[in-house]
């Protein structure tokens, strides 16, 4: 593909109207950005920790002051409901505040050794490349950006082609808050051009990528050539396990938004609903009204619960998985312009059917029966993914046993929670590599240097 820069049109997925035209970065643009970032990083790392923390808090305040503006940009470019978009902007603010609190606590250790003193020092990596997805453009960008900056690094963010607007605005707010020029840069562009150049650049010390497992594998292979640090957050096909002893009414009521939030475009979506056979029929009876009543429409409307898919390409991908003759429960979606697909729950399918085994990334779930605890665990683990999942039961012992047996990085009992910025997040198997968020997030953007000082040699 040519390295020549081009312009990319940003569409509103609810109307298909062009809302912006954004210049796209070339490989040469990436190279120049890395040079600028390396200079800014040296200035940033030389600041006193308290000063870096203070500037990050100012950045958080700037985001908070522009929260509604950022939310409306997210509604327009990503089709997120306005309530979700406000939460996402607030999450960026909270991540910056949380990361700022870690700047002065990023400490090494003193390790007992014979004949001297041994200490460890955590040093910033340098320039970090963050490649963010289109499904949660603001918060996932901040998952990498906030702790990387707090640890003393510079960040170059490559947003998804379809959702560059909030990223560009955040970069402007960073400069307005007083962060050094070029410390946090945003380079919109094609993954095959700007993204590839960022991954392959020898001046980039680490890549943080969130996206498909297929692309994640390609990035991992490219990073291997330079032994480049890498964090991957990839796909998911998460199980929602409902045992017969659970509060069936509560489990059924919570299930719709566990896979319909963000129109199902969520790696943590509980798209495999596993229900113990003895309560299977009752669960479906309770689930149907919840699916059929979901309000799908204008994402700017406060009453809307689900908006459109991100693009025509994604809409066609989801349609390809769902045969109109498949049994199940279906909600409704608008006609006319926009990339709409109705809430859909499919039944009567084999666990290995493509829609039951592959990541659809749309508002589609399957319900599968299981016999007992061992069968539930077997079905839950019968996937190459291992990102998240839910377990519904009143039995504490069962909750602990199944939590230990399900191969997933993020599980919740009697709820569908997956992501909190103060707890670690990441996947097993082909759902990713490494962990983001939580108290160890800053350390993931540092090198550990060990220093031994002899007390038995010549005087210093």
Positions marked catalytic = 233, 267
- Residues, the chain: 460
Beta strands in 216-308 (DSSP E): 229-233, 239-242, 272-276
What are the structure tokens assigned to 271, written together? Answer: 């798209």
Nearest to 432 by CA among 413, 411, 408, 405: 408
Distance of CA 121 to the CA centre of its chain: 29
Would you give the distance in Å from CA 98 to the centre of its chain? 17
Encoding tokens for residue 144? 């990498």
347, 284 in Cβ contact below 8 A?
yes
DSSP per residue, 398-410 = HHHHHHHHS--SE
SS3 112: strand
What are residue 410's DSSP bridge partners? 388
| CB-CB contact of 318 with 341 (8 Å) | yes
| Token digits of residue 282 | 């009752």
Pairing of strands 229-233, 432-433: antiparallel
d(CA 167, CA 266): 19
């Amino acid at each position: 593909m040519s390295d020549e820069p081009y312009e990319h049109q940003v569409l509103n997925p609810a109307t298909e109207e062009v809302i912006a035209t954004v210049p796209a970065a070339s490989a040469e643009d990436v190279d120049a950005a890395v040079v600028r970032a390396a200079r800014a990083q040296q200035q940033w790392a030389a600041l006193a920790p308290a000063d870096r923390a203070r500037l990050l808090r100012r950045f958080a305040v700037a985001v908070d002051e522009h929260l509604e503006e950022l939310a409306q940009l997210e509604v327009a470019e990503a089709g997120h409901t306005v309530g979700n978009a406000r939460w996402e902007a607030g999450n960026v603010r909270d991540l910056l505040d949380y990361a700022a609190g870690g700047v002065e606590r990023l400490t090494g250790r003193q390790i007992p050794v014979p004949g001297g003193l041994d200490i460890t020092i955590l040093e910033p990596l340098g320039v970090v490349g963050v490649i963010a997805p289109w499904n949660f453009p603001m918060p996932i960008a901040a998952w990498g950006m906030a702790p990387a900056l707090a640890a003393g690094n510079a960040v170059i963010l490559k947003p998804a082609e379809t959702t560059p607007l909030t990223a560009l605005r955040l970069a402007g707010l960073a400069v307005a808050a007083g962060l050094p020029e070029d410390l946090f840069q945003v380079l919109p562009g094609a993954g095959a051009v700007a993204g590839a150049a960022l991954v392959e650049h020898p001046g980039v010390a680490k890549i943080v990528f969130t996206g498909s497992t297929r692309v994640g594998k390609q990035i991992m292979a490219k990073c291997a050539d330079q032994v480049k640090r890498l964090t991957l957050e990839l796909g998911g096909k998460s199980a929602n396990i409902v045992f017969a002893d659970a509060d069936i009414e509560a489990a059924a009521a919570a299930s719709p938004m566990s896979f319909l939030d963000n129109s199902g475009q969520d790696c943590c979506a509980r798209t495999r609903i596993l229900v113990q056979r003895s309560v299977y029929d009752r669960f479906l009876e309770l689930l149907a009204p919840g699916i059929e009543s979901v309000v799908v429409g204008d994402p700017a409307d406060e009453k809307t619960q689900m908006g459109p898919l991100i693009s025509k390409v994604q809409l066609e991908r989801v349609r390809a998985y769902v045969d109109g003759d498949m049994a199940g429960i279906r909600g409704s979606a608008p006609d006319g312009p926009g990339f709409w697909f109705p809430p859909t729950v499919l039944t009567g399918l084999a666990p290995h059917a493509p829609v039951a085994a592959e990541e659809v990334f749309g508002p589609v779930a399957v319900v599968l029966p299981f016999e007992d605890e061992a069968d539930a665990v077997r079905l839950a683990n019968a996937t190459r993914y291992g990102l998240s999942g839910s377990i519904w039961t009143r039995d504490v012992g069962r909750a602990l046993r199944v939590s230990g047996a399900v191969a997933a990085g993020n599980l919740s009992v009697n709820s569908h929670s997956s992501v909190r910025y103060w707890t670690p997040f990441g996947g097993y198997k082909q759902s990713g590599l490494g962990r983001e968020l939580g108290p160890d997030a800053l350390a993931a953007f540092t090198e550990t240097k060990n220093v031994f000082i002899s007390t038995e040699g010549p005087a210093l």
